[in-house]
Structure 1
Amino acid sequence: MPNIGKCILSDNEIKEILNINKDNANKIIEIAERLAKEYEQISASKFREFYDYVLKIDEKDDNWYMKLVLLKPKLAYTYGKETNRNKKEALEKLTGTFSKIIDEINQDINKFKSFKTFFEAVVAYHKIYAKSQ
């Protein structure tokens, strides 16, 4: 599968995101706000669509990780059909970053729960920064 997009987080930041705890919670919030600014060209409704997809994944389902991995082609499809250069650049960052995070989750349910919490924070900040579409 081609690797679409570029990850804009360090490996250490991804490790922290996937292990949210009382010691790194403030750092996680800072990362979430930074990413929301990076994704400001993505419409709030499109961004929310990706988040809603993740929210619907039930951790008790044996296929939860497969469903999470299927977010990668959804992101790639949205990136591929975008024609606006600024939106496409933001989608490239989102696709690359979230693909790497999904790979790092690697079927660890606790990492997935941390990712959902982090994604919620990004969505909250994104609502502030998203360009009106």
Structure 2
Amino acid sequence: MKDLKGPRPEKEKKVEGGVQQVDEDKLRRILGGDAKELNSYANELAKSYLNARKESEKLTTSQIRNVLDELQRMREFDEAALHLIRPKLAYAAGRHGGRVKDFQKLLDTTIKITNRENFKNFKNFVEAIVAYHRYYGGK
């Protein structure tokens, strides 16, 4: 018989109140140009966004894609336009809940630390999340 009192492996990293915690150190390395970290964290996040109890709580590829489209419309860094994405994300998180809240929290944190020098890395990070999300079956 299994020991039920022993330590259990975590299914999600750093979860508090149902919302996945954001690793700001990883985000800073990604925005600084660490391609391996970008790849690894985007992969990890994409998997977690598909892991929800109800179908309605999953993050859809089109929800992520909407953010990427807004970022791609910005040919160069525009701080005002970037910060205007935050209320749109908050609205979507309030409306849908679930993994959308996780995505909103991630991007909200990332937007706060994005600047002219690392904006391209931010766009690449969101693009990688879209790609991995789709790869793992995101709809």
**1:22-65 CA distance string (max 9 Å, x none):** xx3222201010111122221112221111111111216xxx11
**1:59-96 CA distance string (max 9 Å, x none):** 16xxx1110111111111111222xxxxx220111111
**Residue in 2 aligned with 1:74?**
88
Residue type of the alignment partner of 1:112: F
Match of 1:38 among 41, 48, 64: 48
User: Quick one: distance in 1 between partners of 2:86 and 2:137?
Assistant: 22
The TM-score, its normalising length taken from structure 2, stands at 0.74
The TM-score, its normalising length taken from structure 1, stands at 0.77
Larger radius of gyration: 2
C-alpha distance 55-26 of structure 1, shift in aligned 2 (>3 A)? same
RCO (CA 8 Å, sep 6+): is it higher in 1 or 2? 1
Match of 2:65 among 20, 33, 48: 48
Structure 1: 5+ residue stretches without partners: 83-87
Match of 2:127 among 90, 109, 120: 120
* Deviation >2 Å, runs of 4+: 5-9, 129-132
| Count of residues in Structure 1 that have an aligned counterpart in Structure 2 | 115
Structure 2: 5+ residue stretches without partners: 1-17, 51-57
- Identical pairs, percent: 30
Higher relative helix content: 1
